[in-house]
Amino acid sequence: MLKQVIVVRKDIEWGKGKLAAHVAHAAVDSLMKADPEDVEKWRKEGGMKIVLKIPTLKELNAVSKKVKESKLPFALIRDAGKTQLKSGTVTCLGVGPSDQKKIDKITGKLKLL
């Protein structure tokens, strides 16, 4: 079974629309880095996506490091700084689609957003 996970920082003050846009950026960007065969299989399985929260940038960076070491497809999203946030602010992390068990080893203890 394959899934995609988006991990969102909770220590940022931003509007719901901006948060939603960044979740979309993370989903699309990590999808584009995934293996095309995994993407096709994931889509046929229903395209499972889970959005999780993480308290701080430090914790998000630790998860990102583990994801990178595991060689999972991922995208770390930074804001362009045009509206609510400073340029370069890391907002969220997209992982997968990839093997659910591999992703869960890293993100399985995080809570739903």
Condensed to tens digits (0 to 9), the pLDDT of residues 42-93 reads 999 999 999 999 999 999 999 999 999 999 999 999 988 788 888 899 999 9
Decide: pTM greater than 0.85.
Answer: yes
Q: Report how many domains make up the chain.
A: 1
Residue 11 sits in a domain of what CATH number?
Answer: 3.40.1490.10
Residue 111's pLDDT is 98
Whether 95 is in a domain gets the answer: no
Range of the domain at 13: 2-83
Whether 108 is in a domain gets the answer: no
Q: Which residues contact 92 (CB under 8 A, 6 or more apart)?
A: 6, 7, 8, 9, 22, 23, 25, 26, 60, 77
pLDDT at position 31 over 90? yes
Whether 24 is in a domain gets the answer: yes
Query: CA angle 83-85-90, nearest 5°?
Result: 135
Whether 11 is in a domain gets the answer: yes
Whether 46 is in a domain gets the answer: yes
- Output 95 or 80, whichever has higher pLDDT: 95
* Mean pLDDT of all residues in 3-14: 96
